[in-house]
Structure 1
Amino acid sequence: MTDGKTPHDRTNVSIGQAPPDLRQSPRDPADPFRWLALIVLLVATFMDAVDVTVVNIAVPHIQQDTGASTTQIQWLVGGYALAFALGLITGGRLGDLYGRKRVFLIGVAGFTLTSLVCGVAGSPETLLVGRIAQGAAGALMVPQVLSIIHVSFARQERGKVFGIFGAVGSLGVLAGPLVGALLVEGDVFGLGWRPIFLVNLPLGVLGLIAGTMLLRESKAERAAGLDVGGMLLSTLGLLFLVLPLIQGRELGWPVWTYVMLAASVPVLGLFVAYERRVVARGGSPLVVLSLFSRRSFTGGLGVQLLFGLASGVFFLAWTLYLQLGLGYSPLKAGLSGLPLSLLLMAGAGVSMQVLVPRFGRRVLQAGALIAAAGMVLFAWLTGHYGAGISLWQTVLPLVPMGIGMGLIVAPLADIVLSEVPHQHAGSASGLNNTTTQLGQAVGTALSSVIFFNHLPGGGNPTAQAARMPAAFAHTLPYVAGAFLAAFALLYAVPRKAGAGNKDGEDGDSTPVKEALTEPDRYAASAH
């Protein structure tokens, strides 16, 4: 007879001892279901990435159908990003403390349910509440993906896995407008804009079933209670920082946005001081400050911030340029970005499988230079041909940009997490995702200065369309500058980052320093 349990559930456990699969040390045997489980994680990653941008295409239809005000539409787009950014660090730490599989499945269930709420919403208020709750559910789901990968795959396998992860995540973001255009223009079952949310239902249900069967549970070995004080301070500090960046441009930068931005500095400073006190008392902090003593972690997060900033500036301006400046339909605009998506995936695969194991950080630096060159070429073509630019000329600069971004995005997550102990994988993953979101918010906010300021005021669509090519050309050198800054910052990352240890030792093994208690480890890093 069988006991009705999955292979992951069967284990001999002494009284009072946590099951070995919940403690997940680096020496645990490899999970035989890890490659099938990876499919579940990648589907969740793609689903979230698409939902970040899929709504933008459908905004006119949503406004016409629901009668939503301009403010409500702004919050429909920005509310998701805000809730998502605020919850990522806490979501990652919850997985460390209470089980990554458990929190991931809760996030998938919440994401699926809130997608249903959005899809059947009969009023803009219901849609807005559902959209914000969807972002919060995503903040529970997404950090677990990287942390589960980090603890489930051996060091020599992670290069391939992170390459696939980076490609799928980027493909999802880029595919969002195309998926939205296909669903809205196709008017599936006569539902108009609603399928952009309802399409998540079958994916979510399948993800819950497969995740329950295939994912192995893991959490920190010395799980403690949630750092509530740290959670509240970090959320408040990020709220003060991210909310003005998301909403400032649409609202014309009122005084309160500058006040909140200024207040974010002391609040986040208080958060760091509070986390130091938690560590000194021997507690379990929300953010493990000793991680920042690792060059791969700190340097990788800095590059992640610049990468998000470049993406935030470029993709907003690019989408408006194609549709308003050149008159492309949403579907044509989405299809014109397909080469970027395909080349990004190709660059990611070659980067992780062939180049990074041999050349380390130099591959990322080459990617930054190639992407910057693509932006310079795009600026020249746009400035030279203006509104008369042809379709193939708008696609040509996306070739080096796609390859360059692929060389960066795939190994970057692996570099950030390469020296992170297993018990802190969720916290580190949450910080990694938060940094990306923050960079994109900053990039979007900067668009007010470097893109929208070069369009005529008064909201005259014809005049703005005529000036769109020049405004877009003015934006691109700033995007190139962000990639060049990433090139320079990568010198802070160890030369062989992403290439593995020379002695073959797993980066997550537990040498003497890692065996210290958290307070001792923090004291050691401080000296």
Structure 2
Amino acid sequence: MRRLWYPSRTGTRLVDVTDTGTVLDRGAVRSPAAPPVLGALGLFTVLLGAALPLIDFFIVNVALPTIGRDLDASEAVLELVVAGYGVSYAVLLVLGGRLGDLFGRRRLFLGGMAAFGVTSLACGLAPSAWTLVAARVAQGAASAAMLPQVLATIQSATAGPRRARAMGLYGATAGLSMVAGQILGGVLVAADIAGTGWRSVFLVNVPVVIAGLVLAARAVPETRSQRPEPVDGPGTVLLAVAMLALLLPLTEGRAAGWPLWTWLSLILFPFAALAFCLVERRADRQGRTPLVPPGLLALTSLRRGLIMIVPFSIGFSGFMFVIAVALQEGAGRGPVAAGLALAPMAVVFFAVSLCGPRLVARYGTRVVTAGGLIQAVGVALIALAAWRSWPGLGVLELLPGAAVAGAGQALQLPVLFRVVLSEVPAVRAGVGGGVMITTQQSALALGVATLGSLFLALVPGHGMRDALVITLLVQLAGVVLTTALSLRLPRTVG
């Protein structure tokens, strides 16, 4: 007897052919499910989803003065417009990754993107400053549901060179979005489309989200962990408490005058962080699934890559905030000029980042070290331009430094993303991506809080030019630290 399978319109059918030639039809047999594949359109769609939250973190920087005048908002409330989004986004990212592993990443991506569109509409229609703050907090939560699914989908639905190219494009998209958000914000505020003014920086998301939902429904494959793990309730709560205790006082303290609650919150942070670590280790020893598995942090590539992402992101976001304030409030530039001053950085970043995969294949992670050295030269050139040209600092004066710094950043950020996730197993792609983006997002918030506060504190005593130069030199020290840390990265990237 011979056993044969043959295709039919309903799938695969199994038949037995006896020695006498009799055919025995055994009926339809379910074909083994093909592994999910992320095609070009699907990759474009998830990268669009990755761009939206990062653009919206920076798009309000040049719109804040206009928002303050229109809504009669104090400086502390305006900082909450930025911090409320960033903190809720950072606090919920790991949970968003876990939920994607559990319920399906495509499902969470679609739900998060839809929620992002609704909350963007709420931001654009906000009648008061506190309504805008509430809408921004909700928008950050929607971002936390959407963004971890991007990296998890790439990890689960690509392999080999295709994954390397996809991760390179993700890094390019992330870096470009952070610069382009500030440029786009300035253009939209100045354009005052249909009299919407600053509201257009949020309303522009709505048609983009609608297009993204249509594309995602057609082109993004469903992936999920083969061994879904339940949500770690105690770990989720303790991580949220620890991050809120650190980020809220640092982002709000200076504008609020450092009241007692800010100091109590900072004192609480190390205790909450220690409690989180202890609870996670105990859950792991007892065979339960912690929110952040200790085994994940034991991966050398992930741990060392995360350590590098912190100073890099602090310097990046701090610079973006400080240069926006300095150009508008100090040099008297309008929102368009303040945004376009960084256009050379965005263009060079994108162009150089596309070369990253080939350079990494040839030189390994020493590309990151070279990028740090190049970025240091760029930041030094920007500081020199500020010192020599103030208050006539504009696009031409910033062009050499911004272009060189953009090239250096492009050789670091996309490669660091690849390094961090290179050893993370596919079944934990969601939580791995969530941990990485949480680290990056927390550092972005810290950059605005620390370098931004330093700059604003220096202005009354030293003037705008000297405050800008000193802040840039502090950032330069952070670039040197990042470059030194890059020497400890694994030499090759998977």
2:419 to 415, 422, 435: 415
Assess, with a 3 A threshold, how the Cα gap between structure 1 residues 328 and 187 changes in structure 2: closer, same or farther: same
Counterpart for residue 361 of structure 2 = 357
Once the two structures are superposed, the pairs formed by residues 395-406 of structure 1 within 5 Å of their partners are 395-406=399-410
TM-fit CA distance, 1:370: 0.6
Residue range with higher mean Cα deviation, 46-55 or 121-130: 121-130
TM-fit CA distance, 1:284: 1.6
Paired with 2:255 and 2:394, the residues of 1 have a C-alpha distance of 31
1:380 to 372, 379, 384: 384
TM-fit CA distance, 1:30: 5.6
Assess, with a 3 A threshold, how the Cα gap between structure 1 residues 103 and 13 changes in structure 2: closer, same or farther: farther
Counterpart for residue 158 of structure 1 = 163
Counterpart for residue 149 of structure 1 = 154
TM-fit CA distance, 1:233: 0.8
Secondary structure in 1 matching 2:197? coil
2:243 to 230, 238, 245: 238
Identical columns (%):
36
Counterpart for residue 45 of structure 1 = 50
Q: Is the 8 A contact 1:42 1:165 kept in 2?
A: yes
Counterpart for residue 483 of structure 2 = 487
Q: Is the 8 A contact 1:386 1:470 kept in 2?
A: no
What are the ranges of 5 or more consecutive residues in structure 2 without an aligned counterpart? 1-7, 11-27
Assess, with a 3 A threshold, how the Cα gap between structure 1 residues 67 and 389 changes in structure 2: closer, same or farther: closer
TM-fit CA distance, 1:238: 0.9
Code of the residue aligned with 1:167 in structure 2: it is A
Counterpart for residue 182 of structure 1 = 187
Residue range with higher mean Cα deviation, 188-197 or 402-411: 188-197
TM-fit CA distance, 1:2: 8.8
1:103 to 102, 108, 111: 108
Assess, with a 3 A threshold, how the Cα gap between structure 1 residues 194 and 317 changes in structure 2: closer, same or farther: closer
2:330 to 322, 325, 329: 325
Q: Is the 8 A contact 1:245 1:444 kept in 2?
A: no
1:468 to 456, 464, 471: 464
TM-fit CA distance, 1:388: 4.5
Residue range with higher mean Cα deviation, 152-161 or 417-426: 152-161
TM-fit CA distance, 1:265: 0.9
Code of the residue aligned with 1:419 in structure 2: it is E
Counterpart for residue 520 of structure 1 = none
Structure with a larger share of its residues in strand: 2
1:252 to 232, 257, 264: 257
Paired with 1:13 and 1:100, the residues of 2 have a C-alpha distance of 24
1:305 to 305, 310, 319: 310
- Say which one has the larger Rg: 2
1:131 to 114, 127, 136: 136
Paired with 1:12 and 1:130, the residues of 2 have a C-alpha distance of 51
Code of the residue aligned with 2:407 in structure 1: it is I
Assess, with a 3 A threshold, how the Cα gap between structure 1 residues 68 and 280 changes in structure 2: closer, same or farther: same
TM value normalised by structure 1: 0.85
Paired with 1:13 and 1:123, the residues of 2 have a C-alpha distance of 57
Assess, with a 3 A threshold, how the Cα gap between structure 1 residues 276 and 101 changes in structure 2: closer, same or farther: same
Assess, with a 3 A threshold, how the Cα gap between structure 1 residues 389 and 203 changes in structure 2: closer, same or farther: closer
2:346 to 341, 360, 374: 341
TM-fit CA distance, 1:390: 6.0
Assess, with a 3 A threshold, how the Cα gap between structure 1 residues 372 and 197 changes in structure 2: closer, same or farther: same
Q: Is the 8 A contact 1:369 1:404 kept in 2?
A: yes
What are the ranges of 5 or more consecutive residues in structure 1 without an aligned counterpart? 4-10, 15-19, 22-27, 458-463, 501-527
Paired with 2:363 and 2:331, the residues of 1 have a C-alpha distance of 41
Counterpart for residue 276 of structure 1 = 281
TM-fit CA distance, 1:231: 0.7
Q: Is the 8 A contact 1:159 1:411 kept in 2?
A: no
Counterpart for residue 17 of structure 2 = none
TM value normalised by structure 2: 0.90
TM-fit CA distance, 1:91: 0.8
1:438 to 438, 442, 461: 442
Deviations 1:127-149 (A, max 9, x none): 22211100100011111111111
